[in-house]
Amino acid sequence: MRPHSEILRSELSPFDARPMGWSQLMAWVFANSYETAMSNIGYQWLFGILRERGDILVERFFAGDATSLESDRPLREFPTIALSLPYELDILNFLSMLKSAAIPLFARERENAPIIIAGGDAITLNPFPFADFFDILILGCGEAWGRRFPEIMRNMPPGMADRDLILNAAQDIPGAWVFSRGVLGQIGRAPATREFPAFTPILTSFGHFRNMFLAEIQRSCPFSCGFCSSRWLSQPFVNYSAESILEVYRERGQGAGRVGLVGSAVAEHPELARIIDGFSGLGARVSPSSIRFDRIDDATLAKLADAGIRSLTFAPEIASEHLGRNIGKWIPPASIVEYAAKAEKTGFRELKLYWIIGLPDECDDDIIAIAEAIKKIASASSIALSCSVNAFTPKPHSAFEREPMADDNTLKRKFALLKSSVAGCAVKLDLNYSRQSRIAALLSICGRELAPILAKIANGENIKKALREGGIDITAEISAGEEPEWGMVQ
């Protein structure tokens, strides 16, 4: 990681790195790289909410860093530590951070140590593998916690955190689950009710999206793809008005020349053309997240090209109609070939596609179908083509939540089949499958039985050995039990 001073100099921030007048400290942790953290709209947005209060000093921590970005304080000096956990695998990084700071991993062992809180998509979907490590878990939208928890802290003596008082008071925050107080039937999550877009208040030269202002243009997803939990996480689906999106930029965008439009279904926004034109009028170029070609008209596609965008991202997922019916999403490969040719003529130079291997009812012919689709798309135009291929991972609260992740040998064979089937094709192929993929699947659908295994790994034990001693064969098919604990999350 770069020196903290260099990172801080790279940031354009509305916040004073060393404010005066504060009485309480909070560590705001993202257990991954700085680049990934500062490209995450949820982490940045909640940091902005927490920093609105002058009496609470919130400082950032990232994976592999023993001290805070803002002041180089050690993690252990913070009476309250809050973790944003959008990705399941990052729990391993966080536990390593606690271990390095000599902070007990399990909440039950931290009577005189920091109070530790966690929220994020991974926590909301299935809090149980992580529950034993945290005093408070935030399920659902974190905004209510971000605004109300500092009110609890401000009543504490300076630099102190009264554990019982904080845990008792936290139970009144929507979505807050104090695990040590037990489970009573169902666990409620905080609803996403905000009427304005989330955004990234800090611009940085070292993020994945260099000096780009990210603005949420919609919440949740209008589609119900069988493998995905996005709709459940933050329903109902809402498109924010073009004026509210532009207003957020005018007030908080700090004159950024590039704006990332964040949403699960950007093409579904009825004012997308107006948004593009509005930012153009403000001197900013827009860059949308993944966009469905079959849901966007030619005029809007041309506006994106005119705005200077040269790369498009699209997720067809599969290339077989029967799988399309299963997952609830079907874009015929012939249509993608058309869209690729149209994109090239419109001025785009690169196309990135996302595919999934290992879906329920998949056979080798479906893998070959993906390969054939890739070859047809690559040969139909000279546009640069890259394909990212991921293994199916069952997600709680999705239609496929009880479907298994295929065993290791099966997935290795299928990925090898795809690779050999596109050999010689002009495509950049990124095959995303490894042991880490399988650990992520375990964390996604298993329960509290994983906690002691995670602790062993954090304490330096070999991952494969720790899993084996815990009775888990990481190479076998992975699926949820008959009555998974995460079914209590409502």
3-state secondary structure 204-267: ECCCCCCCEEEEECEECCCCCCCCCCHHHHHCCCEECCHHHHHHHHHHHCCCCCEEEEECCCHH
Measured distance CA(152)–CA(147) in Å, rounded: 10
3-state secondary structure 122-174: HHHHCCCCCHHHCCEEECECCHHHHHHHHHHHCCCCCCCCCHHHHHHHHCCCC
Please, which residues have CB within 8 angstroms of residue 164's CB and are 6 or more apart in sequence?
Answer: none
Tell me which residue of 397, 417, 211 sits closest to 406, measured CA to CA.
417
Q: Which single residue is written with the structure tokens 């940045």?
A: 44
Query: Looking at per-residue confidence, does 181 or 455 come out higher?
Result: 455
pLDDT at 161 over 90: no
How far is Cα 103 from Cα 90, in angstroms, rounded to an integer?
A: 17
The DSSP-derived string for 289-319 is SS--GGGS-HHHHHHHHHTT--EEEEEEE-S
* Structural class in CATH, domain 4-181: alpha beta
pLDDT at residue 475 tops 80: yes
pLDDT digits (tens, 9 = 90+) for 327-372: 999 999 999 999 999 999 999 999 999 999 999 999 999 999 999 9
Measured distance CA(434)–CA(449) in Å, rounded = 22
Mean pLDDT in residue range 447-461: 96
- 183 pLDDT band, cuts 50/70/90, is low
- Written as six digits, the tokens of 414 are 């299928």
- The letter for the amino acid at 238 is V
Per-residue confidence band for 279, with pLDDT thresholds at 50, 70 and 90: very high
Domain ranges for the chain, please list them: 4-181, 203-445
Residue 236 has pLDDT above 70, yes or no: yes
Please report the pLDDT score of residue 185 as a whole number: 65
31/64 Cα distance (integer angstroms) = 8
Strand, helix or coil for residue 62: strand
For residue 240, give every residue at least 6 positions away whose Cβ sits within 8 Å of its Cβ, in sequence order, or none. Answer: 195, 196, 197, 216, 217, 218, 219
Q: Residue 56's pLDDT band (boundaries 50, 70, 90)? A: confident
Residue 184 in this model has a pLDDT that exceeds 80:
no
Flag the least confident range among 14-28, 92-106, 472-486: 14-28
Q: Check residue 347 and give its pLDDT.
A: 93
| Amino acid 359: pLDDT | 98
The percentage of the chain sitting over the pLDDT mark of 90, rounded to a whole number, equals: 82
CB count in 10 Å sphere of residue 36:
18
CA distance 363 to 359: 9
CB burial of residue 37 (10 Å; 0-12, 13-18, 19+): buried
Q: Is the pLDDT of residue 157 over 80?
A: no
What whole-number distance in Å separates Cα of residue 274 and Cα of residue 247?
A: 13
Place 387 in a pLDDT band, splitting at 50, 70 and 90: very high
β-strand partners of 489: 187
Close Cβ partners of 404 (under 8 Å, ≥ 6 residues apart): 394, 477, 478, 479
Prediction pTM value: 0.95
pLDDT at 204 over 80: yes
* The pLDDT of residue 6 is above 80: yes
Whether the pLDDT of residue 159 is over 80: the answer is: no
pLDDT at 160 over 80: no
Tokens 């953290």 -> residue: 37
∠ Cα 61 62 67 (to 5°): 50
Among the listed ranges 94-103, 244-253, 352-361, 376-385, which one has the minimum average pLDDT value? 376-385
Of 230, 58, 221, 60, the C-alpha closest to 150 is 58
pLDDT, averaged across the chain: 93
Q: Rounded to an integer, what distance in angstroms lies between the CA atom of residue 213 and that of residue 232?
A: 27
Q: How far is CA 356 from CA 36, 211, 331, 333, 391, in A?
A: 23, 31, 14, 15, 6
Mean pLDDT throughout 378-394?
Answer: 95
**How far, in whole angstroms, is CA 152 from its chain's centroid?**
28
Give 21's pLDDT tier (boundaries 50, 70, 90).
Answer: confident
| CATH code, residues 203-445 | 3.20.20.70
Name the residue type at position 139.
Answer: L
Q: Residue 74: is its pLDDT beyond 70?
A: yes
**395-427 tens-digit pLDDT:** 999 999 999 999 999 999 999 999 999 999 999
Predicted pLDDT at 257: 96
